[in-house]
Amino acid sequence: MLKILEMTLKTGIQTTKYPQEPDIAPLDFRGKPEIFPDSCTFCGNCVAVCPSNVIRIKEDNGEMVLVLSYCGCIFCGRCDEVCSGGAIKLTQEYEMASRTKDDLYCIIRRKV
């Protein structure tokens, strides 16, 4: 016990101050996917490769609609890899707790 205490005093604090202070994820971290609506062509490539089936594209009242549900996303990055226009990118964002289900959807629309 005394040895552990001695070692702790020698090495100092080893943990971060998160969540009191923000902790920045590494640059290659695979976090929350972000969609850039202006770049999306609704090609469906991301839908085809998503292993969790959490991206859907449908036509609704003359609009193309892309819905990405963060519930079930495994942050694999396949959508990011196949989107040639860079319309979907994984980010460093990892704080995704939410009180409502609506916050866990990203929806973009475009008139056909």
| Binding to ligand SF4 in span 32-91, by CB under 6 A | 33, 35, 40-46, 49-52, 54-55, 66, 68, 73-79, 82-83, 85, 87-88
CA 86 to chain centre: 15
Q: What's the rounded Cα separation, in Å, for the pair 32 and 78?
A: 13
Residue 84 Cβ vs ligand SF4, minimum distance, rounded to whole Å = 7
Q: Which is nearer to ligand SF4, 8 or 86 (CB)?
A: 86
- Closer to ligand SF4 by Cβ: residue 8 or 41: 41
Yes or no: say if 75 and 55 are a contact pair by the CB < 8 Å rule. Answer: no
Residues touching ligand SF4: how many (CB under 6 A)? 29
Indicate the residue among 51 and 105 with the shorter CB distance to ligand SF4: 51
Distance CA 112, CA 110 (A): 6
Q: How many CB atoms lie within 10 A of CB 71?
A: 11
> Closest approach of Cβ 112 to ligand SF4, in Å?
14
The CA-based dihedral angle spanning residues 43, 78, 31, 24, taken in that order and rounded to the nearest 10 degrees? -110
Q: Footprint of ligand SF4 on this chain (CB under 6 A)? A: 33, 35, 40-46, 49-52, 54-55, 66, 68, 73-79, 82-83, 85, 87-88
